[in-house]
Amino acid sequence: MHSRTQTIRATLILLLVGACQERPTAPTRVPAATNADRDGPQEENHRGKVQCDPDNAGITLPPGFCALVVADLVEDGQPAQARHLAVTPNGDVFVAINSPNNQNPSFGIIGLRDRDGDGHADRQSQFSPALGGSGIAWDDGRLFFGANDRVLRFRLPAGRLMPVGNPDVVVAGLPNTGDHISKTVVVKDHRQLFVNIGSASNSCQVANRQLESPGVFPCPELPIRAGVWLFDARATNQSEASGTHYATGYRNLVALAINPFSEDLYTVQQGRDMLFENWPQFYTQDQGANLPAEEMARVTRGSNNGWPYCYFDAISEHKKVLAPEYGGDGHRVRGGQGIDCSSYNQPLATFGAHWSPDGMVFYTGDQFPGRYRGGAFIAFHGGFNRAPEPNEGYQVQFIPFGRNGTPTGAAETFANGFAGSAGPLPATAKHRPVGVTVGPDGSLYVSDDKGGRIYRIVFMGSRDHED
């Protein structure tokens, strides 16, 4: 129980937050009880007292797990485009909000607090006006926000739902045009800030996404895009040129995370499109729907994943092959200009084509059964170009990892049903997963940029037979 001093402190914090333009959010359906102190260190959930939503928040999970809706977020009367999220040590949730067509949004970040411990947010803050984005990370009292053309750093001590003062500009002038503009931010050791800069095109053609247009060699995007840059997380007013070009040849790395056990950076790359549409002489429509694989890779300093020259075929070739824009025919590994696809970074695991991985986290909690600890959860946004086959993805997958930093088993579906049963997808999708992170009590949080929903997944099963 709280002491009188703790109670007074909590009251003062709530009054301060109320003065910072917090807005109450509508309660979401069935209350769920927790034993969490939202203004102090979060305590372990008493799983036997947690009541998830009666429809399990509309998703399917493995036995022993259940889910509830933390909040359905709204921006200007419409479902908010909720992208990545971060959870602070006291259980507050901060969500990056993107903006359609990069227009000036009302806010770019939403903070959520559950004051009564029922699992649903009942207090909301909104800040970072006129600047939307996708990336967000909390690190030791600092909230990093990956807007589409810069990275901001807010002073946000634990227990505050609004930042202190104006943000610092950590990096400015990042590329913000073309096919891929979302920036993911990852902080390591309080000092290192990793930022992805996605490619401006599908495959570096002379004419982007056009029939039989050849690829440009060397691809002029590679020095400034399609890779990961490393910056000083403590500095201000950095530029892309002043940062370190950490890794290259990665088409678009929205899903990016540090493995806390190996301390390496990992990703699941968004693979290329339009093999059949642009090169029907080499690929059937079925091959275009199922190639290439989305690749999980370890991103090391100086690594090169081979985009745009190569892609990974997990269906028939089971290796990286030469892209048709550079002389490939679906089988060749080597091409002109000295391209050798076997020389590039190879995947640790692969996933379905065009699933669009958007978020990844390694599970560091102790709430879930032992087999999940240290493994990776990946949120897939869902495909849009798998015709004539149905679009797939729209789920969270899990892949177990060993402490040596490599997978120990095959990937499996962990959470599904986000999109609903109507078709065709993605036009009729109710929800599309984007961000995934672990709360201080070991719960798994998932965001959705179609319906603006924030999910919380908890384990309610017996620990008597953990694997």
24-33 residue pLDDT tens: 344 333 222 2
* pTM of the predicted model as reported, rounded to 2 decimal places: 0.90
16 sits in which H/E element: helix 4-18
Chain position carrying tokens 């084509």: 353
Instruction: Record the tokens describing residue 353, joined without a space.
Output: 């084509």
Q: What is the pLDDT of residue 100?
A: 64
127 closest CA partner among 174, 165, 90: 165
Q: What is the pLDDT of residue 9?
A: 38
Mean pLDDT of 62-88: 96
- 16 pLDDT higher than 50: no
- 43 pLDDT higher than 80: no
432 closest CA partner among 391, 386, 374: 391
**Pick the residue with more confidence: 12 or 39?**
39
- 44 pLDDT higher than 60: no
Chain position carrying tokens 């909000």: 97
Q: What is the pLDDT of residue 384?
A: 87
Q: Using CA atoms, how far apart are residues 134 and 130, in angstroms rounded to an integer?
A: 14
- 368 pLDDT higher than 80: yes
pLDDT confidence band for 15 (50 / 70 / 90): very low
pLDDT confidence band for 50 (50 / 70 / 90): low
Chain position carrying tokens 């109450």: 24
- 191 pLDDT higher than 70: yes
Determine which of 32-46, 171-185, 197-211, 401-415 has the lowest per-residue pLDDT on average. Answer: 32-46
pLDDT confidence band for 354 (50 / 70 / 90): very high
- 160 pLDDT higher than 50: yes
Q: Are 278 and 211 in contact (CB under 8 A)?
A: yes
Average pLDDT score, the chain = 89
Determine which of 20-24, 85-89, 171-175, 456-460 has the lowest per-residue pLDDT on average. Answer: 20-24
Q: What is the pLDDT of residue 38?
A: 35
**Pick the residue with more confidence: 404 or 224?**
224
Q: What is the pLDDT of residue 12?
A: 33
How remote is the C-alpha of 92 from its chain's centroid? 18
How remote is the C-alpha of 227 from its chain's centroid? 16
Q: What is the pLDDT of residue 101?
A: 56
Q: Using CA atoms, how far apart are residues 13 and 443, in angstroms rounded to an integer?
A: 25
Determine which of 3-7, 141-145, 308-312, 389-393 has the lowest per-residue pLDDT on average. Answer: 3-7
Instruction: Record the tokens describing residue 259, joined without a space.
Output: 């493995």
How remote is the C-alpha of 326 from its chain's centroid? 31
CA-to-CA separations, 407 to 175, 278, 465, in angstroms, rounded: 33, 34, 23
Compute how many other C-beta atoms are within 10 angstroms of the C-beta atom of residue 416.
15
Q: What percent of the chain has pLDDT over 90?
A: 81
What is Dmax (Cα atoms) for the chain?
76
**Pick the residue with more confidence: 20 or 65?**
65
Q: Are 454 and 82 in contact (CB under 8 A)?
A: yes
Q: Using CA atoms, how far apart are residues 254 and 271, in angstroms rounded to an integer?
A: 12
Q: What is the pLDDT of residue 463?
A: 57
Give the burial class of 141: count Cβ atoms within 10 A of its Cβ; 0-12 exposed, 13-18 middle, 19 or more buried. Answer: middle
Domain coordinates in residue numbering, the chain: 4-172+354-459
Q: 248 CB contacts (<8 Å, ≥6 apart)?
A: 222, 226, 227, 303, 304, 305
Mean pLDDT of 190-196: 98
- 68 pLDDT higher than 70: yes
pLDDT tens-digit profile of 243-287? 999 999 999 999 999 999 999 999 999 999 999 999 999 999 999
What SS3 state is found at 57? helix
Q: What is the pLDDT of residue 461?
A: 84
- Nearest 5°: phi and psi at 395? -155, 170
Give the burial class of 390: count Cβ atoms within 10 A of its Cβ; 0-12 exposed, 13-18 middle, 19 or more buried. Answer: exposed
**Pick the residue with more confidence: 354 or 49?**
354
CA-to-CA separations, 431 to 127, 299, 316, 361, in angstroms, rounded: 24, 30, 32, 20
Q: What is the pLDDT of residue 19?
A: 33
Q: Using CA atoms, how far apart are residues 239 and 231, in angstroms rounded to an integer?
A: 9
- Label each residue of 336-379 as H, E or C: HHHCEHHHCCCCCEEECCCCCEEEEEECCCCCCCHHHCCCEEEE
Q: What is the pLDDT of residue 462?
A: 72
Mean pLDDT of 186-196: 98
**Pick the residue with more confidence: 35 or 426?**
426
Q: What percent of the chain has pLDDT over 70?
A: 88
End-to-end Cα spacing for the chain: 34
Q: Are 111 and 99 in contact (CB under 8 A)?
A: no
Q: Are 254 and 358 in contact (CB under 8 A)?
A: yes
Q: Are 137 and 156 in contact (CB under 8 A)?
A: no
Q: What is the pLDDT of residue 390?
A: 87
pLDDT confidence band for 393 (50 / 70 / 90): very high
Q: 93 CB contacts (<8 Å, ≥6 apart)?
A: 70, 85, 86, 87, 111, 112, 113, 121, 439, 445, 454
Q: What is the pLDDT of residue 300?
A: 98
Reply yes or no: is the peptide bond before residue 220 cis, omega within 30 of 0: no
pLDDT confidence band for 22 (50 / 70 / 90): very low
Q: What secondary structure does DSSP assign to 138-186, as a single string?
A: EETTEEEEEESS-EEEEE--TT-SS-EEEEEEEE------SS-----EE
- 97 pLDDT higher than 90: yes
